[in-house]
């Protein structure tokens, strides 16, 4: 059974100005980010993000792989002050007014670039923080006092290459860097019931795929998750395009054999989305998010 988290004390805050020296191994997260409205609404999923932010050691910086930055080639944001990107439409003005002024980290971007051998990674000065990053990270670190960089998804690469590329980033965990994959395990906007965007329920195929995904995650069967195109109709409906699913592979690739998996925010919404999120950590976490 997956475990959930609650009732934990805040860890002492790390100073973000410290150099990237060796530290206790940081956890890894995959966050089901869902609707951009989660940035400004109060709901159980936002509460789950906040609990995680209060539970985990404060990182020196965050490296986020977001479903919302697809590129030809792999790029890493390397500016001092990344802009807040409002990459969506049709939402209330209040959402477009949100700014998340977290600093960037050119130093971390260069270090991450140097670790990547599977492909040639480029340093980007134009992108910023899209809503796949800021809409969830703002709940983890509401003071925007943790530097954040993003790494893009190369849509020409295979799931296997994405998984192998992620493994090359493992050493960053020893240097106080929190690596986050942000997407949704089940994500089919074409079949979302928009009238029930705030309703917790899933279509049968979405629930079937979600249960299989969680079984593979908890058993460590990464091969089946990498080969998601071979998992049948429910996976085809749940992953019509891979960009929201691939950040999960980035998180799982960073797991050590001895580390534990904790699932949280584990519910479907609007029929065709799941908010299921994953914590990878060596520590035992017990309790409830609710």
**CATH code given to domain 28-281:** 3.40.830.10
Q: What is the pLDDT along the chain (290 residues), one digit of tens a residue?
A: 444 443 333 333 333 334 456 678 999 999 999 998 889 999 999 999 999 999 999 999 999 999 999 999 999 999 999 999 999 888 889 999 999 999 999 999 999 999 999 999 999 999 999 999 999 999 999 999 999 999 999 999 999 999 999 999 999 999 999 999 999 999 999 999 988 877 899 999 999 999 999 999 999 999 999 999 999 999 999 999 999 999 999 999 999 999 999 999 999 999 999 999 999 998 766 544 44
**pTM (2 d.p.):** 0.90
For the chain, what are the domain ranges? Answer: 28-281
**What is the spatial distance between Cα 133 and Cα 135, in angstroms, rounded to a whole number?**
6
């Amino acid at each position: 059974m997956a475990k959930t988290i609650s009732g934990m004390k805040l860890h002492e805050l790390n100073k973000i100005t410290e150099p990237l020296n060796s530290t206790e191994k940081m956890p890894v997260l995959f966050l089901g980010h869902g609707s951009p409205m989660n940035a400004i609404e109060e709901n159980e999923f936002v509460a789950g993000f906040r609990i995680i932010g209060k539970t985990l050691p404060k990182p020196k910086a965050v490296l986020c792989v977001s479903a919302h930055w697809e590129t030809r080639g792999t790029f890493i944001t390397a500016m001092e002050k990344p802009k807040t990107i409002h990459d969506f439409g049709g939402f209330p003005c209040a959402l477009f007014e949100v700014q998340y002024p977290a600093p960037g980290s050119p130093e971390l971007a260069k270090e991450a670039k140097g670790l990547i051998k599977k492909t040639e990674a480029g340093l980007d000065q134009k992108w910023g923080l899209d809503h796949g990053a800021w809409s969830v990270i703002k709940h983890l670190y509401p003071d925007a006092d943790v530097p954040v960089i993003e790494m893009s998804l190369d849509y020409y690469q295979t799931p296997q290459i994405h998984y192998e590329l992620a493994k090359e980033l493992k050493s960053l965990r020893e240097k106080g860097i929190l690596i986050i994959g942000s997407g949704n395990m089940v994500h089919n906007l074409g079949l979302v019931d928009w009238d029930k965007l705030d309703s917790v329920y899933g279509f049968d195929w979405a629930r079937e795929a979600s249960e299989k995904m969680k079984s593979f995650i908890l058993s460590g069967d990464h091969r089946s998750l990498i080969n998601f195109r071979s998992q049948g109709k429910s996976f085809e409906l749940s992953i019509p395009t891979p960009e929201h699913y691939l950040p999960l592979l980035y998180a799982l690739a960073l797991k050590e054999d001895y580390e534990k998996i904790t699932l949280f925010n584990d519910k479907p919404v609007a029929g065709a989305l799941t908010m299921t999120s994953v914590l990878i950590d060596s520590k035992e976490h017990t309790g409830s998010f609710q």
